[in-house]
Amino acid sequence: MIHPLPSPTPSAPPAAPPSWRQRWQERRRQGWGPLAYRVLRRALDVSRAGRHLEFHWRQVIAVVPARMRLPPRLARELVVRELVGPAAAPAAHDLASLTALRPAQGLAYAQRFAAGHRAWGAFFGRRLVAFVWLRLGPAEIPSTFGAVWQVSAPLAWIYDLYSDPQVLGAIPHLYAYLRLHPPGESCRWLVGQTEGDNLRSRKAHDRLGYEPVATLWSWRCGRRWWHLSRAHGDHRWRWHSGRGRIPLPLFTAAASRLPGPQLVNPPESCAAPAREPRFWLQCECGRRVELAGDRYRCSCGHELGRRSEGMATVGDPIPYWGEIPQPEMAAVLDRAARAGWREALASLTPELRNYIAGPGRADFQDLVPLPPAARVLDVGAGWGGIAAVLARQYPVVALEGVRERARFIALRGQQEGLSRLTVINGDVHRTPLACGQFDAIVANGILEWAALLDLDSPPQAVQLAFLDRLASLLAPGGVIYVGIENRVGWAELRGALDHSGLPYTSLLPRPLARSVCAHSRRYRAHFNVGYRTYTYTYRGYRDLFAQVGLRIRSTWISPMGYNAPAKLVPLTGSAIRFCQTPRIASPAGAIRWKQSLRRLAAAPALWRWFGSDFAFLLEPAATAASVRLLRDAAPAQRAEAPQPLSESHIA
């Protein structure tokens, strides 16, 4: 049940409203332009001249969906989907939900759907708590001040956004959905307008990555309107009559000549790349061999591998291991080749189908700082649940040692038309990938299994060699994303099955865990001898990463497991307290002891020790140290320092 917000307690009197002097000083700090505009608007409103005269100052803002800057997602109780108009069945459309949240302002909701407008909504359970309206081009949208916005094909005009004030975090969910799922294949950027004196709206859009691309001045005298516009970076002013068309494409085209982020360049997810991404192998002689063609042969005559069945085979595959037996896996591959990979999953359990084809496997990408054309390596790609999602926006190499699973990823990429997905069947230790070519490496649920690739060396030594290999593949400024269990996490304390197939083995000392696993018949893999799938506490991971020169840049707790990163909580006190706070306020007079326990359990030290699963973002420690050195250096010393990293590398 959703309850209203509680009334303020008598012990906490409301703060006094700011005085006129404080408001005046705040306006002065914000600039004279908004202040003068607000004074003029106020004078017209209180005078009789306001009936015949009207003045507006607006800014046209735009952002590329793939370049939105979103805050860290702290909860995913909200579900976003596209709203359905009255053309659907009466029980299926969302008109009643829209009207219940907020009645239509201006054009009725039914008329918007009939005119081709689209809307997306965020739902808390079955209740609509936020929505956003937009219109894809080409279209002409009448404005409230007489003119017509002319929207071309690559644009999407956002004009109505509302959220229930009782629900927290609904607006970021809507924008996160639009970022990952652009409203159209030809959509290159989102465009909207904001009032010149609405500083709160301008700051909110600045934080999201919107940039002003044009300024529009509008005057009304009687019933006649005049408009004057100027694109940012363009010195020409344009007059528009009262019923004239305001060409948004001219504004965005002029903004492309500005320094800084280019708004008109389409994101990689919306436009075809100019050329196919190129990845490289490295021969023993030191030369690089491009991963292209049917055979990968160096000029020295050494053959590194070959391409067959839609994937590159480099080295020998590892023995079969998977969630299903090998004969059943062969049947899945045969059906995937004949009827499609989604049809082939029909015989699997619902949990395994969601693990393979669930849309949220790569939700952590919102938190990883990646440029639009970043090269990504997915180590231990499994069934391709992460690599296939990332390949819609970035060039991705899916590295999988089991041949059957690599073949499934290749079929999946071919049937989905993922031209940026490159599948390699090989082991990360034995695949001679060229060093320094990846901007991001994903090791989701693979670090703990790395010791099974070398049964002769100690497990921790194999894990260190694995991390060192990943660090060597990073380009300057690159990052590594690691998802892994906590050795003493809450799930392990409650008896969740460890990688050994037994509960509580991660809590035991290593020698005792090896003895227990050696005498058990419920081990998960026949070639997995003893206990080699080591996991650690937060401090253990930090020391492990430091031994190979990696530094923890950011840490999140994934309460639902690292394979379901829809809810990632930063390991900070404020974020944990926000996560512990219910999205809907409790009714007045409710029992408060649960809230007290939540506040006590929100200590970062407790989450650091007993959090369920970890999600780490790693970077080379040398890079982090050089950045700090450059930032802290004095101007005279900074001039003598080495050439600093570029902004794209630091990000």
Of 198, 246, 234, 270, nearest in space to 37 by CA:
198
Encoded amino acid at 458, one letter: P
pLDDT by residue (tens digit) across 302-344?
889 999 888 999 987 788 888 899 999 999 999 999 999 999 9
* pLDDT reported for residue 228: 81
Q: Quick one: average pLDDT of 30-39?
A: 62
Q: What SS3 class is residue 140? A: strand
Please state, as a whole number, how many other Cβ atoms lie within 10 Å of the Cβ of residue 202: 19
Give the model's confidence band at 650: pLDDT under 50 very low, under 70 low, under 90 confident, else very high: very low
Domain boundaries, given as residue ranges, for the chain: 54-255, 302-563
Please state, as a whole number, how many other Cβ atoms lie within 10 Å of the Cβ of residue 364: 22
User: Residue 21 above 70 pLDDT?
Assistant: no
Dist CA 387 CA 2 (whole Å): 38
pLDDT by residue (tens digit) across 116-128?
889 999 888 788 9
* pLDDT reported for residue 88: 67
* pLDDT reported for residue 253: 54
Q: List CB contacts of 470: < 8 A, sequence separation 6 or more.
A: 379, 428, 441, 443, 480
In this structure, are residues 470 and 598 in contact, taking their beta carbons and an 8 Å threshold? no
* pLDDT reported for residue 542: 95
Dist CA 40 CA 215 (whole Å): 18
Q: Quick one: average pLDDT of 5-27?
A: 50
Of 461, 496, 462, nearest in space to 613 by CA:
496
In this structure, are residues 623 and 648 in contact, taking their beta carbons and an 8 Å threshold? no
Q: Quick one: average pLDDT of 464-487?
A: 94
Task: Please state which of the ranges 442-456, 559-573, 614-628 shows the lowest mean pLDDT.
Answer: 614-628
User: Residue 469 above 90 pLDDT?
Assistant: yes
Half-sphere exposure of 358 (CA within 13 A, CB side): 15
Token digits for 438?
């990846």
Please state, as a whole number, how many other Cβ atoms lie within 10 Å of the Cβ of residue 546: 12
User: Residue 644 above 70 pLDDT?
Assistant: no
In this structure, are residues 311 and 406 in contact, taking their beta carbons and an 8 Å threshold? yes
* pLDDT reported for residue 273: 37
In this structure, are residues 648 and 371 in contact, taking their beta carbons and an 8 Å threshold? yes
Would you give the distance in Å from CA 266 to the centre of its chain?
18
In this structure, are residues 232 and 255 in contact, taking their beta carbons and an 8 Å threshold? yes
pLDDT by residue (tens digit) across 269-314?
333 333 456 898 989 888 899 988 889 999 888 889 999 888 999 9
User: Residue 550 above 90 pLDDT?
Assistant: yes
Q: Quick one: average pLDDT of 632-640?
A: 42
pLDDT by residue (tens digit) across 587-633?
544 556 666 777 777 788 888 899 889 999 999 987 544 444 444 54
Token digits for 35?
């202040």
pLDDT by residue (tens digit) across 367-381?
887 877 899 999 999
Give the model's confidence band at 268: pLDDT under 50 very low, under 70 low, under 90 confident, else very high: very low
Of 96, 179, 187, nearest in space to 372 by CA:
179
Instruction: Indicate if the alpha-carbon torsion angle 539, 543, 544, 546 is positive or negative.
Output: positive
* pLDDT reported for residue 487: 93
What letter would DSSP give residue 6?
Answer: P
* pLDDT reported for residue 623: 54
In this structure, are residues 471 and 464 in contact, taking their beta carbons and an 8 Å threshold? no
Would you give the distance in Å from CA 410 to the centre of its chain?
24
Token digits for 306?
């070959």
Backbone region of residue 115 per phi and psi (left: phi > 0; alpha: psi in -120 to 50; beta: other values) = alpha
Dist CA 34 CA 473 (whole Å): 50
User: Residue 182 above 90 pLDDT?
Assistant: no
At which residue do the structure tokens 């100019």 appear?
A: 274
When comparing pLDDT for 429 and 650, which is higher? Answer: 429
What letter would DSSP give residue 263?
Answer: S
Share of the chain above pLDDT 70, in %: 75
Model's pTM, two decimal places? 0.62
Angle between the 326-339 and 403-416 helix axes, to the nearest 10 degrees? 20
User: Residue 455 above 60 pLDDT?
Assistant: yes
* pLDDT reported for residue 293: 86
* pLDDT reported for residue 620: 92
Please state, as a whole number, how many other Cβ atoms lie within 10 Å of the Cβ of residue 69: 13
Would you give the distance in Å from CA 147 to the centre of its chain?
37
Angle between the 20-30 and 32-46 helix axes, to the nearest 10 degrees? 130
* pLDDT reported for residue 1: 31
Dist CA 77 CA 12 (whole Å): 30
Beta bridge partners of residue 296, listed in sequence order:
305
Would you give the distance in Å from CA 27 to the centre of its chain?
35
* pLDDT reported for residue 149: 78
Token digits for 78?
């909200």
Q: Quick one: average pLDDT of 420-424?
A: 94
Q: Does domain 54-255 have CATH number 3.40.630?
A: yes
Of 341, 320, 307, nearest in space to 403 by CA:
320
CA distances from 374 to 424, 440, 548, 562, 632 (A): 18, 7, 24, 22, 29
Dist CA 113 CA 119 (whole Å): 8
CA distances from 96 to 93, 116, 131 (A): 8, 19, 13
* pLDDT reported for residue 2: 32
Between CA 369 and CA 131, with CA 390 as vertex, the angle to 5 degrees is 80
Between CA 607 and CA 613, with CA 609 as vertex, the angle to 5 degrees is 70
pLDDT by residue (tens digit) across 199-243?
677 777 777 888 888 888 887 787 777 888 888 777 777 777 766
pLDDT by residue (tens digit) across 71-113?
655 455 678 888 988 876 666 788 889 999 998 888 889 888 9
Dist CA 413 CA 425 (whole Å): 14
Fold of the 302-563 domain: Rossmann fold (3.40.50)
Q: Quick one: average pLDDT of 497-505?
A: 85
Q: How far apart are the first and last CA of the chain?
A: 43
Token digits for 263?
């708004």
Between CA 632 and CA 644, with CA 638 as vertex, the angle to 5 degrees is 90
CA distances from 508 to 125, 176, 261, 539 (A): 41, 41, 52, 17
Dist CA 396 CA 423 (whole Å): 8
In this structure, are residues 118 and 135 in contact, taking their beta carbons and an 8 Å threshold? yes
